[in-house]
Amino acid sequence: EAGVVQSPRYKIIEKKQPVAFWCNPISGHNTLYWYLQNLGQGPELLIRYENEEAVDDSQLPKDRFSAERLKGVDSTLKIQPAELGDSAVYLCASSLDSNTEAFFGQGTRLTVV
Amino acid sequence: DAKTTQPPSMDCAEGRAANLPCNHSTISGNEYVYWYRQIHSQGPQYIIHGLKNNETNEMASLIITEDRKSSTLILPHATLRDTAVYYCIVRVYSGAQKLVFGQGTRLTINP
């Protein structure tokens, strides 16, 4: 069974440019999470979806970040415009539902120059 | 969610048991203890979770004290591939399901 798939694996962009990350969760998983991980720190939740509904986006900086999960399967996370401080690893995870363990993808390492 | 305290780093010899402690003195009765690990350049990997009783699976054992204020993750025969950052997390089983990661313990397995 395929795990959580994220792309791209690495991304380097100039500041003020837009960037998008894509996540394909494990088949049948209704809950999807986006996490941000700064160097040397544990992951921090940005947003959680239950099917296509964003049920916890309190930590998502809405002035520049947006996310969608239109059909309740794949999801994209966008930053526009990117800032130097956005350099980090962006992790996607999924779980069968909100009561079961989450499985993580390998993440997208973003470098903003 | 209750806060957890873990040592920042630990070393263990290959083939020996690695015992990773976690303090969660403010844990509530409906909070589970979860363990994840993160190998370099990979996403976190679920290991095990428990509420009151000790748990064992193919990866590890989880020992929770009777008062539930601390727990220990045991890797019975550590290998070099177990070198990773290990996160102990307490989490309510229902309602908001946010996993709150701390700094974790960086475990190094030495040959």
- Partner-chain contact B94 A99, CB within 8 Å: yes
Interchain proximity A106–B42, CB inside 8 Å: yes
Q: CA-CA distance, B45 to B47, in Å (whole number)?
A: 6
- For the stretch B17-62, pLDDT in tens is 999 999 999 888 888 999 999 999 899 999 999 999 899 999 999 9
- Identify the pLDDT of residue B28: 86
Cα–Cα distance measured from residue A80 to residue A89, given in angstroms and rounded to the nearest whole number: 16
Question: Would the CB atoms of B104 and A42 count as touching at under 8 Å?
Answer: yes
Q: Which of A45, A48, A91 sits opposite B43 (nearest CB)?
A: A91
Question: CA nearest B76: which of B95, B58, B94, B50?
Answer: B58
Instruction: Identify the band that residue A18 occupies on the pLDDT scale cut at 50, 70 and 90.
Output: very high
Residue B94 confidence (pLDDT): 57
Q: Find out whether A76 and A95 touch, Cβ atoms under 8 Å.
A: no
Longest CA–CA span in chain B (Å) reads: 43
How far apart are alpha carbons A108 and B31 in whole angstroms?
31
Residue A107 structure tokens: 């993440």
Task: Please name the residue that has the structure tokens 């970040």.
Answer: A65
- Asked if A61 and A45 count as a contact pair (C-beta separation under 8 A), the reply is no
Judged by CB atoms closer than 8 Å, whether chains meet at B43 and A102 is answered as no
- Compute the distance between CA of residue A36 and CA of residue B93 in angstroms, rounded to an integer: 23
Indicate the pairing of strand A44-50 with strand B18-23: unpaired
What number is the average pLDDT over the span B66-86? 96
- What is the pLDDT averaged over residues B94-103? 73
Q: Do A103 and B46 touch (CB under 8 A)?
A: yes
Rounded Cα distance between A22 and A11, Å, is: 12
Instruction: Please state, for a pLDDT cut of 90, what percent of chain A lies above it.
Output: 86
Residue predicted with more confidence, B17 or B103: B17
The whole-angstrom separation of Cα A4 and Cα A105 is 5
Rounded mean pLDDT, B6-27: 96
Query: Residues 61-90, chain A: which have Cβ within 8 Å of B?
Result: none
Per DSSP (E only), the strands in A1-113 are 5-7, 10-13, 19-24, 31-37, 44-50, 53-56, 65-68, 75-79, 88-95, 103-104, 108-112
pLDDT tens track for B63-73? 999 999 999 99
Chain A contact for B41 (CB, 8 A cutoff): yes
Cβ–Cβ under 8 Å, residues A35 and A43: yes
Q: Which residues from B are below 8 Å from A41, CB to CB?
A: 103
B45 contacts on A by Cβ (under 8 Å): 104
pLDDT for A24-74, tens place per residue? 999 999 999 999 999 989 999 999 999 999 988 888 999 999 999 988 899
Q: Please, are residues A48 and A33 in contact by the beta-carbon 8 Å criterion?
A: yes
By CB neighbour count within 10 A (0-12 exposed, 13-18 middle, 19+ buried), where does A99 fall? middle
| Contact call for B44 and A31, based on CB within 8 A | no
